[in-house]
Chain A
Amino acid sequence: MNCLEFRQQILVDPYTKFGPAENHLSQCERCQDFANEIKNLDANIYQALNVSVPEGLGAKVHLKQSLSEQNNPHKPQLWLALAASLMAVAVFMYQLVAPSAVQPNPTSAIVSLVNQLAEPVIAHVNHKSHDFYAVDHQPISNTDLQSVLSGLSAEIGTKISVENVLYAAICPVDGTRATHLIVKDGSDKYTVVLIPDHAPSKAFEIDDELWRGYISPHPAGAIAVLAAATDNHAVARIKEINDQYIQSFYLSAER
């Protein structure tokens, strides 16, 4: 281990204990000084972070929990009944109003269930969103987009302008190679994930704490169209956008 490697390690964890670092530390005076400086920095960080806790906080937590139990002994049952009623009304209304919006099959009503695919998709976009939503991305080049899409034998329809694609990458999702895109529509941003080798039997609504959208069957797999839950305008249009994107993205015939 050289000085650079040691210092990188000490900045990640000043109290790291492993052989190579210990050996280097015992032999390098400058790195001993550096390690002491960082340990001192950490001690001060600890003091700065260590705010005092309000007196009796634990007792307040116990009290609130007890009161909550006393005041709402039947709350779970009421909540479940209400949720079931709303679900039934929502499914009924959906079948009346838009029986073929997501899929021609009338039995494929959108339900608020998360299928097995939702979890890895959300986990992936959660992981990536730190990068995506922190900065304004510039549209990617047509060459880059085609390169990504061709990696999955996917194509993009004419309803979406290439200039509106802000990001495109092949990403591992649930053990398969998925195409991950960020598409701009006006001022809204939508995440689209095309997942081959998965065949959901019907469309599922995603109602995650951070994401809203749908995972739907697709001619050669599944397509997820998501909006950030905090983006009200994008969420309000998610149904319309989902239908539009299902038509716009497709996998080429040779797949």
Chain B
Amino acid sequence: MEKMDNTVIQLEHITKNYNIYKKNIQRVRGIFFGKEAAEVKHALRDVSLTINKGERVIVTGPVEAGCTSLLSIIAGVIYPTKGKIRTRGKVNAFLNMRAGFENEATCRENIYLKANVLGIPKAVIKNHVEEIIEELELKDYIDIPLKRAPKGTPLRICLAVHLLMDTDIMIIDENFNSGGVHIRQECIDKIQRYFETHPDVTLVISTSQLGMTNNVCTRGLFMEDGVITFDGTPREIYEKYRALSKRATQPNEEPDSSESSEGGDGMEEKDIEQE
């Protein structure tokens, strides 16, 4: 692939290990004196990946497959143990909607706070803040503390502010499960509309809302145990993920990371039916 023109994300032999220590003092010894950890968790094993400009990639897999680690490394939030990563352009990392929010502050203040964390200049957000309030119908509770606002509000504010950011690469690690079905649909529609109007933005997303992949994504990656085991179309990924969900007899017991919860599963099917 032509490195110069099209590649926006390039990972070369990325390995990420987490050292698990039973006691804090062991961690100190490990860091300063090079003692080996009691247990090493391999989150990513020798992953190489090239993503071109304008590609929309969905990454999914079972619990602890390494999706979150992969996305965090691309975002530049955590650092790989081994390997090289190159990204070109401004990265917009939507990894945790809570990051930057202050529960005691009002919704309006939180719009500014989130924008500040993302590095959006105050002048820009000021121009858009009324627009956001209008669009999200926040008028009634814009000046009450965020903790008293309806449940889906942080997610909606977060997404709205993220989509304002001037960006080349967008990374989303979110299940959109906060606040109910209609909020989830609203978020998905929003992302769809955003990418219709921004064809140059590259997307890497890890979510259990696979329904949206057919409309937004152009490529799918399936991860298992820290390795990308399948690189294909979003439809193929969807089938693989469905098979996986069926295999899991009790989805409720699964930790809620990048995996399906009961609500997520129902939604996926709905999305597909709508097409």
Tell me whether A and B are bound partners.
no
The interface of chain B, by Cβ under 8 A from chain A, is none
The interface of chain A, by Cβ under 8 A from chain B, is none
